[in-house]
Amino acid sequence: MKLLTFQLAQREAALTSGERYVVPWTCVEQAWLPAYRWLVAVWEGRSGEAVNSAPVWCWQRLAGDVSVADCALELFSEADRQAGILMLELDVPPSMVLLSSYSAWNDLLYGLIGNGDVPAGEACRSMFDVGHLDDGNDAVQAIIPFIEPAWIISMVRMNLPAAT
């Protein structure tokens, strides 16, 4: 499955080392840890595999008319953009991918901010439903547990404009 991911340029050496690339949990904002851990648990439940690292965030499809540059601008701070952002195109075995609706994921995060807990039940599980994933106006995000070197099709440093 073709996926797109953005990574900080400081991780380039790790990505080109020829070794499996994993994201340490220390890279995840403290406020988002419960939601990220919940999403990893969903991946583990579907795959039957254990994950000992934070997920690698990818995109299977961007929303509507959002460009790749616009997506990267929304995801990274000005300091991150100045330090450099890498765009990687990956070809990942479908069994390693958990797809979900980006808008539904954001709804889950807003709930986390509101009450400090990841919502439970079918309401948040609907982010994985085909109906959400088929909506061309919504981005489809993907998590994978790591990046294998053989999955990297291309990697380029992005030239992003400064914030205005």
Tens digit of each residue's pLDDT (9 = 90 or more) over 70-82: 889 888 989 999 9
Q: What is the pLDDT of residue 99?
A: 93
* Pairwise CA distance, residues 148 & 113, whole Å: 33
Q: What is the pLDDT of residue 121?
A: 58
Q: What would the two tokens of residue 132 be? A: 């959400």
| Least trusted range by pLDDT, from 6-20, 42-56, 119-133, 137-151 | 119-133
Note the pLDDT of residue 64: 82
pLDDT at res. 132: 64
Q: In this model, does residue 96 exceed pLDDT 60?
A: yes
Model pTM above 0.95: no
**Closest C-alpha among 147, 52, 39 to residue 90:** 147
